[in-house]
Structures are given as C-alpha cells and as structure tokens.
Amino acid sequence: MKNRYILLTLFLIFSLYLLWCNISIIYTRKGKVNIPLVEKVQFPSDSFDVVNATVFWQGFYHDWSYNHRVNRIGDWIDNVSNKDGSMRAVFTHTAASGSGADVLNYLTFFTYLKTEKAQFFSAATTATIRGREATTTTKVIAVKGKWPSSLAHYKMGTVVLNGFDLYSSNSNNGKVMGSGNADKLSKLFMEVNNFKIQDSTFEFDLNVMLGADCDSPECLNFTPGDNEWFDYQLKVAYQIIAYQDDVHVSNAKLQQDYTWRKPFKTRPDIDPNEIFRKDKVLENQVLKGHKDYHVGIPLISKIDINLPKGKGGVIRKRMETPHLLALDIAINDYEYNPATGNCVYTADLFFKNWKPNMHILSFGNDGRAIINLGIKFLQIRDPNAVVESQFVKGDIKWQTTQLDQRLANDPHSQKSFVLQK
C-alpha cells in the first residue's frame, strides 16, 4: 500500500511537470498606465579627460562552472585619464548568477596605444531597460555632448564600444517591474554609430535591444503577473577617437551562426565536434586596409547576440530560452602588416549552454546562437606610435543561495584592475 502511494505521488508530480512543459499560462495585467520600457537615461555631456595614450576594449571571455540565468554580466574599461604623464585606466568585469553559488573565470582583451596623430576620450551611458518576457525592447539613444575645447582643430572622429554592464534591477534602482529576479537572455544588442561633430558639440546614436525570458521551473511564480517582466540596468561604455589626415577608419562585420544538440540517454552524442568539445572560433579573418599606415587595430562597434528558444527541461519537451554557461565576445588575437595594410585576426564569438558533469540541478537545451560583431578598423600613420596587445585574467567567487539571494550589484559581483603606463 505504501509503495502505491509513492507511485501515485510520483505520477502526480510527473503530470504537473508535463503540464508545465506543454501549457503556457500568460497573465497580463490590464492596467491603464503606460510603463516606460527605457528610462533614466544618463550620460556626461562635458568635462571629458582628453588623452593621446589610451586602451581599446576588444572583448572578453565569461565562463561559469555550470549554467545560470543572467543576474549580472559585464566587462568594460572606464576612467581613462592622463596624470603626470602617465595613462591610467580601470578594467572591470562583473558576474552574478541567479540562485546558485559558483566561480566565474574571465579574460579581458585590450590594446594599448600611444600616438601624436589622434586624441581620445571615454565615457558611458546608463539606462533602465525592461519589457514583457519573451519580447524585445528596442531604443535608439541620441548621445550628445560638448566637444572638448582642446580638440577644436579636430574635425573628424569616430566612436567605438568600450564594453558594457548589465544587471537585474532592484528596489535601489526605483520601481521594478516583475519579480526582480534574473532572467535568461534571448537578445542583447549594442551599437554605436552615426558620429557627428557640429560646431562645438558632438553626437552619435547608441542603439540598444534587450530580450529575456525566465521560462524554466526555477522561475515558476504563482503570483499573477509577478513574473512576466524582465527589468535590467544597462551601462554601455564608449570611446571617441578624434583625428585629422593621418588616420583612416573602415568598417567590417562578422557573423557566427551555429546550432547545438544536448545528448541524453536515448539519444547519445555522435558528433565529435559538438560544442562542448571545441569552441566556435573564427580564425584567419582579414581586414583589408590602406598601405603604408604604421598602426592597424581592429575595434568593436557592435555586439548582437541572438538566442532562440530550444527544446529543454528534464525530458526535452518544453521550448525554453537557454541558460548561460559561457559567453565569449572577443577579438583575441591579430597581426597587422603595414606594407599591405591588411590585418589578420581571430574572433571568438561563442555562447555555451551546457557541458558534461555540471551541477546536478542544471539542465541543457538544444539550441542555436547567432552572434554578429561590428568592427571598426583603425589605421594610423605614425612611425613613433606605441602599440601593445594584452589581456587581463581573473575570477569572481559568487556566493548566494535560493533562499538568500544577493542583489545583482552586490560589491562581490565585480572585480576591477587598474592599469598605469
């Protein structure tokens, strides 16, 4: 009799799981108040530190030991300044999981440049960005500022990304739509373009898109409407390059598009190139520039990550947005030939959802990743320029539990490194 009750209980649990996997119940509040999807946009408009020695951000690696929702993810460079003839820059990486403690390993890639043929200044734009789960919020932010007086004779310029930070909103950020918990990313897009100098001002467009969904069991919430929003704080760092005749800037783009399949007992893996065995790296990519420029550096102007739903869960029946195990967005190696003006580089554009022997409660998905990168190829005619490609390596030990979850912007979710040259 006891075994019968146990079997009945297991059958009821299994039935409820099947119901969860195959039926989506969406509760939408019919309030009359329009909720702003992008608000609290802020950026500096004056008093920039102009330097002739700088560091350019070229991406990052972000690698957990098992997969998670995205509570916080970020990698950027800011506070580039010059004091007493020394260049100073702050590198920061951030990481926070949804509800499980873990260790995050990271790399930040960058190039140091010192030249008399261009000037540089950096800043960042911050905003609250939210939306209904399983939708994408889009915004074009017009970033404007006063053109530094020290650059009055510079009439040309461009803008590149210097990294970003994204974390789940909490009450310290004001009213939070939804439960305020971490979600799983389905879309992350950032691009800086349309740079203009007009009289004593500058302007460019910051295009952002964010989509997220928490459609897996750990996000099940029985409060109507409480779990139907994503709500994040976004910071996008950028760097402006001012130049005249001895600089050339060209544009290029790169795409990575692949699928993966999560094996299980009745469908063993037969592909030796499945993504848990080898990252999807794009090697021997070529940027064709102009000859006789002494410096050539590939920089990032756009990041576009698309993660459609795939079959997930214990029995692979429910279409779910994938958890994040690792994300690599980086130009991790390049070699420039001044004689030809060409640059051969390697780009690691890779999202990873699972690997063997993860945490017992972690599940992988079947899925697909489409990652696009916008590149600006910076060339400078300066035989005295100093160029050094480097990286920063570190880890973040994130401690949290399901019952006592730390805020995404807890100080323990970030680690910084100061470079002085």
Angle at 416 between CA 413 and CA 417, to 5 degrees: 160
* pLDDT (0 to 100) of residue 24: 40
Nearest Cα neighbor of 89 from 49, 44, 30 is 49
CA–CA distances in Å: residue 35 to residues 130, 220, 293: 9, 23, 51
d(CA 421, CA 411): 27
The DSSP code for 140 is: E
DSSP string for 353-375: ---TT--TT-----EEEEEEEEE
d(CA 116, CA 93): 30
- Buried b vs exposed e over 324-338: b needs ≥16 C-beta within 10 Å? bbbbbbbbbbbebeb
Q: The whole model's pTM is what?
A: 0.89
d(CA 105, CA 274): 22
SS3 390: strand
* pLDDT (0 to 100) of residue 32: 41
The answer to whether residues 395 and 136 touch, using CB atoms and an 8 Å cutoff, is: no
- Buried b vs exposed e over 22-52: b needs ≥16 C-beta within 10 Å? eeeeeeeeeeeeeeebbeebebeeeebebbe
Residue 202 half-sphere exposure, CB side, CA atoms within 13 Å? 26
Q: Tens-of-pLDDT digits for all 421 residues of the chain? A: 556 666 677 667 666 554 544 444 444 444 445 889 999 999 999 999 999 999 999 999 999 999 999 999 999 999 899 888 889 999 999 999 988 899 999 999 999 999 999 999 999 999 999 999 989 999 999 999 999 999 999 999 999 999 999 999 998 888 888 777 889 999 999 999 999 999 899 999 999 999 999 877 777 665 555 568 999 999 999 999 999 999 999 999 999 999 888 766 555 555 555 565 566 789 999 999 999 999 999 999 999 999 999 887 666 677 889 999 999 999 999 999 999 999 999 999 999 998 877 877 787 888 999 999 999 999 999 999 999 999 999 999 998 876 677 899 999 999 999 999 8
* pLDDT (0 to 100) of residue 110: 98
d(CA 328, CA 340): 30
d(CA 307, CA 367): 8
* pLDDT (0 to 100) of residue 109: 98
